[in-house]
């Protein structure tokens, strides 16, 4: 057996970074996300395909709040940096809009056609653009919150860390993220991503030592692999060591794929934490 990272050989590491190994119904969950996203676009006011950068993939779908000056939640999808799109990523929009926020589902170029550096730059560009164009869109420029799942959580964290970090946001919600990219280099995921050691080091938020966010929610499902649990544990430790206030959640009954369904959902640990972070009360609690 040839060890490629930690205590893992290639086959074991591939399993650790295959979230579907702990989620047998993941395809059904992905279908549900797509269905709910289509329904959100049918039921809500939506500005589709808003361009935030020069690349054709740099587009977002914007769901305005029902009042001006509301906070905005920006969701960055996952898919191992090579799959999925903004089209399946609007499932949480109805909950945020009903709670008084705007919502944006973010698109970006994927591997192998785009490098990781380009993806991080896209997310960073989108957050800056949304802050700068807040008046035109209708949300508050100082209340742009960011969140993502899996690769999306990594991209949000990477965009807000390192020497080019920015803009500083009031809060982030990171779900089932990868914060240390070195093991990715030795797994099947790197076949499309093509990371070398230097790039993996540069874009590993765990190595940055800081995050441009005032408050941080980090969560994962209880039904996830050892490596995803380790990634979260070590990133939380790093952030707390740097003085960041962190809400660390492990959600029983959720896995890598269905945890995002709790975003904005009242009565769930993730949903309640995000609404509180944004200063929003649940719809039933508002007069």
* pLDDT tens sequence across 199-227: 999 999 999 988 999 999 999 999 999 99
Predicted pLDDT at 196: 97
In 70-165, alpha helices (H):
93-98, 116-132, 134-137, 151-159
Q: Average per-residue pLDDT in the chain?
A: 95
| Secondary structure letter of residue 6 according to DSSP | T
Report if residue 252 sits inside a domain: yes
| CATH label of the domain that carries residue 203 | 3.40.50.1820
Tell me the pTM: 0.96
* Residue 255 located in a structural domain: yes
In the chain, how many domains are there? 1
Q: What is the pLDDT of residue 287?
A: 35
Cα–Cα distance for residue pair 89/137, rounded to 1 Å: 20
For residue 88, being part of any structural domain is answered with yes
Q: Is the pLDDT of residue 285 over 80?
A: no
In a domain, 233, yes or no: yes
Q: Residue 150: which region, alpha, beta or left (left: phi > 0; alpha: psi -120 to 50)? A: left
Per-residue pLDDT reduced to its tens digit, 53-65? 999 999 999 999 9
The number of beta carbons lying within 10 Å of the beta carbon of residue 56 is: 9
Nearest to 192 by CA among 83, 112, 95, 96: 112
């Amino acid at each position: 057996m040839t060890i490629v990272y930690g205590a893992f050989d290639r086959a074991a590491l591939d399993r650790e970074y295959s979230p579907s190994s702990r989620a047998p119904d993941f395809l059904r969950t992905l279908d549900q996300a797509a269905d709910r996203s289509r329904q959100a676009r049918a039921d809500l006011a939506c500005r589709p395909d808003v361009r935030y950068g020069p690349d054709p993939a740099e587009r977002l779908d914007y769901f305005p709040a029902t009042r001006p000056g509301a906070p905005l939640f920006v969701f960055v999808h996952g898919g191992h940096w090579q799959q999925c799109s903004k089209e399946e990523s609007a499932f949480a929009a109805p909950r945020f809009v009903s709670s008084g926020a705007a919502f944006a589902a973010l698109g970006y170029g994927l591997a192998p056609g785009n490098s990781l550096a380009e993806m991080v730059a896209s997310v960073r560009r989108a957050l800056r653009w949304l802050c700068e164009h807040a008046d035109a869109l209708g949300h508050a420029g100082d209340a742009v919150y960011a969140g993502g799942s899996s690769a999306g959580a990594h991209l949000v964290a990477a965009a807000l860390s390192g020497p080019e970090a920015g803009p500083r946001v009031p809060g982030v919600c990171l779900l089932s993220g990868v914060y240390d990219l070195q093991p990715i280099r030795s797994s099947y995921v790197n076949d499309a991503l093509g990371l070398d050691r230097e790039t993996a080091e540069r874009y590993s938020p765990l190595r940055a030592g800081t995050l441009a966010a005032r408050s941080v929610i980090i969560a994962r499902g209880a039904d996830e692999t050892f490596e995803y649990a380790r990634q979260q544990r070590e990133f939380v430790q790093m952030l707390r060591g740097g003085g960041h206030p962190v809400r660390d959640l492990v959600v029983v009954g959720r896995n890598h794929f269905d945890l995002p369904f709790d975003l904005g959902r009242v009565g769930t640990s993730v949903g309640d934490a995000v609404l509180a972070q944004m200063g929003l009360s649940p719809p039933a609690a508002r007069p």
